[in-house]
Structure 1
Amino acid sequence: MTHGSDNWDNLLDPLDPSLRSELIRYGEFVDACYKAFDLDPNSKRHCNCKYGRTQLLDKVGLQNSGYEITKYIYASADINFPIGVSPACMGRWVGYIAVSTDSSVRKLGRRDVIVAFRGTVTRSEWLANFMSSLTPARLDPHNPRPDVKVESGFLNLYTSTDESCKFGLGSCREQLLSEISRLISKYGSEEEMSITLAGHSMGSSLAMLLAYDIGELELNKPINGGVEIPITVFSYGGPRVGNHGFRERCEELGVKVLRVVNVSDPITKLPGMFFNENFTVLGGDNCYTHVGVELPLESLNGKSFSCVHDLDTYLGLLRCPTKKVKKGELMERACGFFKRQKLESWSWQHMATLLQYPRF
């Protein structure tokens, strides 16, 4: 139930205690990406993970999580930088893949594969975030599905390769699909499995693309008479990723998505703040649309961007929830935030200057 078998029906209002615990637990796996990310420009691991795979969970306080990290994931953006802007930190660490241990499997009743993604930190990621144009995903070579469109910057980050990156080989997509295929091949024929993708902000966009990709390529289909592996996405402060065709295809593939949304967080209204699922004049192919089920939470502080969008705020709201907010208030809250901040331009330079904060 907590992984969306019935789209979390009757579990969100009020929020079911077991689901709340799961959302906090997976959110902490995402938070580990931030805690382990090396921001020291003088470090040899700058823009990468500070710890080895066997150390990370212990170092960030998740030593009793019941999971073991099997692979680190790196991503790059194939973009042209403006003159005078240094392309530092292009191909860098964005998250990891972990699998539940044998003892954890006995408690969960299944072998769970987690993929956790952090949000935006580097300049190349900022540029990718603000490309904001829809483009066909074309991830299935046998069926391009031109009606399935996603934000070009997120797709760029997911599929581009940076040969200068000494840690990750191949694109983010290639690294992910290779390791997930290996784990499915190892466990899928003999055990019940689940694939759980969790991300904050930009990381939730990568999680959505990966979920769609796994389903489209049928990597989660039964092996040797087994059962289909469920794919679940837990999104924290995630933006829109694709158009109506993308949402419909995700639903057809059985991808389950639960979006945890701070109603004062403007990033959850982007891209497509105006041309979205509520705007029908342009048609669904040309408008951004959210995927899945939304869990709206009231913000503890709606005045500071770093507060409303910070993953710590999201986890705090889950641990100590306040009143529910009516869905009709969401756009009003977002417009009010933009007005207060006097955002006249949505260039990536303006946003980076405004935020001066790495965890987007």
Structure 2
Amino acid sequence: MMIGVGLTLPAHNLNVFNARRASFKCQKSPLNPTSRTHVSSASSTELTRETLSNLEKLLQKSNQPDPERVVKTSTSNGSIETKGKGLLEGLNLSRIWPEMKAAEEMSPRHLNRLQRLLSKTMEYSPRNNLGSRWREYHGCNDWSGLLDPLDENLRREVVRYGEFVQAAYHGFHSNPAMSTDEAPLPRHVALPDRSYKVTKSLYTTSSVGLPKWVDDVAPDLGWMTQRSSWIGYVAVCDDKREIHRMGRRDIVIALRGTATCMEWAENFRAQLDQIPESDDPTQRVERGFLSLHKTRGAHVPSLAELVVEEVQRLIEMYKGEPLSITITGHSLGAALSLLVADEISSCAPHVPPVAVFSFGGPRVGNKGFVERLNKKNVKVLRIVNNQDLITKVPGIFIGEKVQQQQQQDNPWTYSHVGTELRVDTKMSPYLKSNVDIACCHDLEAYLHLVDGYLSSKCPFRSNAKRSLAKLLHDQGSNVKQLYTHKALSLNLERDRFSFPMPSCLPSPSQ
């Protein structure tokens, strides 16, 4: 079909147009990698991918004003004509590739936001004053009305306490070995919140051990088989402005998860033993956790002794001030947090309110242990990932409802403690739906999900602010390829990441 160009162009321009028209047939568009008019359905998806890639490069190289900018002009008939409309919107790529929502995912505005999330750039948001409601956020009402939808202030507090646990992980892995000949020296811990200072290092000791020949065979891995290991710290808020914002001086006890062979061995000692300080034989906890909590080392006291001594000292030091004690841990640290809470809740005549924020914690004791903590008014907020198997052990793999029915009459059945905040890996737009077990239990994945969680009806908020850099570094194989490829195009290769301390946002909310 011929086009009547003579009807639309002046005669003196017709020859020029015909000459240029011929040259156009030999050129390829930067947006269209092929000059063929018809392409097979089998290659259409590949061509679309290449088109998007070329389009992205074109947008990055262009120095023109924002393509999403809209300019309205009046036409001759008085109607409004929109010029400079978003290029991606005009292409309507979502119809070509609906499963990707390309017009939304690849818009310049989205690319800028994605670049920030994939980088280590911190985005600050204001921390609201909690002075009049700090007890509520600390769990005095079991966080009633704050979980669904998740309160912005509570989200910020939960993620902040998770970052204290990340500092405990880093403090251990930066120096895992511990001398067997002398008491350990005070350890430096890089805290994510500068308003806190570390006052005490904490250690756990296993009651089991491996033969000496194991260390002789693998001397470089001695820290894996050592009985005593650094597991966390006690820190106290020491900044007047932050104390005023929170409404009290906060004491934090942060505990990392399993790292050594001896700790793994204790994890599998799943028998229920009676609590030594309890006269009630129905109050029982897991043997391995109790061992790590109560066993003394050759040169260090037990975890129970260390934490009680330090809490008593701090309570006396800040006597007369409003205080709170917050215990936070991940995995094994979450389990030990409950035992620590039980220990310190009655270590002094007037103990401040005690709350536990646990991430991916296993079951620790039976119903008698749950009732024991409830009587001591220990508040527990359990952050649980639907796909995390660790939160379903120890105990037999049966439904929670069946577990609850058995707990009524069976003191040998494990039971969870406290209030639950449940997140779901599948709700993250950045993680694959088939992530592995390690990712489901990973602490950074937990903090990513909490930062994005809005409510049970809207599981992931669109304005989540937590950086994806550490998640990509730790769980790159579980991040969707769209974002890993984009990270590479932004020169954010994983081998360039170096984290002297966790890549965290100081107040990821709003």
| TM tier relative to shorter chain | 0.7 to 0.9
What secondary structure is seen at the aligned counterpart in 2 of 1:92? strand
Aligned residue for 2:370, secondary structure, equals helix
Look up the SS of the partner of 1:286 in the other structure. Answer: coil
Secondary structure of the equivalent of 1:249?
A: helix
Contact 1:198–1:204 under 8 Å retained in 2: yes
Q: CA deviation at 1:79?
A: 1.1
Asked whether 1:161 is paired with 2:296, we answer: yes
Residue of 111, 114, 118 corresponding to 2:256? 118
Rounded to whole Å, the distance in 1 between the matches of 2:296 and 2:343 is 17
Asked whether the 8 Å contact 1:220–1:230 carries over to 2, the reply is no
Shift of 1:83: 9.7
The letter of the residue matching 1:28 is E
Secondary structure class of the residue paired with 2:296: coil
Residue 33 of structure 1, CA deviation: 1.0
Amino acid at match of 1:134: L
Q: How does 1:150-229 map to 2 (within 5 A)?
A: 150-163=285-298, 165=299, 169-187=300-318, 189-215=319-345, 218-219=346-347, 221-222=349-350, 229=352
CA contact (8 A) 1:234 1:257 kept: yes
Which residue does the alignment assign to 1:257?
Answer: 380
**Amino acid aligned to 2:273:** T
Is the 2:168–2:256 Cα contact (8 Å) retained in structure 1?
yes
Q: Match for residue 147 of structure 1? A: 282
2-structure distance, mates of 1:51, 1:16: 41
Q: Which residue of 1 aligns with 2:138?
A: 3
1:69 partnered with 2:194: no
Contact 1:243–1:288 (CA under 8 A) maintained in structure 2? yes
SS of match in other structure, 1:69: strand
In the alignment, which residue of structure 1 is the partner of 2:273? Answer: 135
Cα distance, 1:214 vs structure 2: 1.7
1:33 has 2:168 as partner: yes
Task: Name the aligned partner's letter for residue 219 of structure 1.
Answer: C
Aligned partners of 1:134, 1:279: CA distance in 2, in Å?
19
User: Which sections of structure 2, spanning at least 5 residues, go unmatched?
Assistant: 1-135, 216-223, 426-430, 458-510
Q: How many residues align?
A: 302
Aligned pairs (5 A) from 1:48-59: 53=187, 55-57=188-190
Is the contact made by 1:36 and 1:51 (CA closer than 8 Å) also made in structure 2?
no
Shift of 1:36: 2.1
Q: Which amino acid aligns with 2:442?
A: D
CA deviations 1:119-155 (Å, max 9, x no partner) are: 00000000000101100012x3xx5322210000000
Which residue in 2 is equivalent to 1:331?
Answer: none
Alpha-carbon shift at residue 44 of structure 1 (Å): 7.2
CA contact (8 A) 1:77 1:156 kept: yes
Aligned partners of 2:249 and 2:324 also within 8 Å: yes
Counterpart of 2:375 in structure 1: which amino acid?
A: E
Query: What's the secondary structure of 1:7's corresponding residue?
Result: coil
Deviations 1:320-344 (A, max 9, x none): 237739xxxxxxxxxxxxxxxxxxx
**Counterparts of 2:195 and 2:445, CA distance in 1:** 25
Code of the residue aligned with 1:158 in structure 2: it is: H
The match for 1:295 among 399, 421, 439 is 421
1:70–1:96: structure 2 CA closer, same or farther, 3 Å change rule? same
1:137-183 residue CA offsets vs partner (Å, 9 max, x unmatched): 12x3xx532221000000000011120x5xxx211111111111111
**Quick one: structure 1 residues 306 and 274, their matched pair in 2 at CA, closer, same or farther if it must change by over 3 Å?**
closer
* Percent identity of paired positions between Structure 1 and Structure 2: 39
Counterpart-to-counterpart distance in 2, 1:244 and 1:250: 10
- 1:84 deviation in Å? 6.9
Residues 232 and 310 of structure 1, relative CA distance in 2, 3 Å threshold: same
Q: Which amino acid aligns with 1:65?
A: R
Change (3 A) 1:45 1:262: farther
CA offsets, 1:245-289, max 9 Å, x none? 000111111000000001100000000134773341883411000
Equivalent residue number for residue 79 of structure 1: 208
- The aligned residue for residue 105 of structure 1 is 243
TM-score (norm 1): 0.77
Q: C-alpha distance in 1, partners of 2:209/2:196? A: 39
Shift of 1:12: 0.7
Secondary structure at 1:280 match in 2? helix
How far is 1:186 from its partner?
A: 1.3
Distance 1:236 1:44, change over 3 A: closer
Structure 1: where are the runs of 5+ without partners?
223-227, 326-360
Aligned to 1:96: 233
Q: Following the alignment from structure 1 to structure 2, what is the Cα–Cα distance between the partners of residues 181 and 10? A: 33
- The equivalent residue for 1:283 is 409
Aligned residue type for 1:310: D
CA 194–281 in structure 1, closer or farther in 2 if over 3 Å, else same: closer
Cα shift at 1:37 = 1.9
Q: Which amino acid aligns with 2:203?
A: Y
CA distance in 1, matches of 2:239, 2:179: 32
Of 338, 352, 370 in structure 2, the residue corresponding to residue 247 of structure 1 is: 370
Residue aligned with 2:150, SS: coil
In 2 relative to 1, CA 219–263 (structure 1 residues): closer, same or farther, beyond 3 Å?
same
- How far apart, in 1, do the equivalents of 2:186 and 2:156 lie? 27
The answer for the alignment partner of 2:436 in structure 1 is: 304
| Conserved? CA contact 2:367–2:407, under 8 Å | no
In the alignment, which residue of structure 1 is the partner of 2:359?
236
> Structure 1's 133 and 44: CA in aligned 2 closer, same or farther, altered over 3 A?
closer
Higher helix share: 2
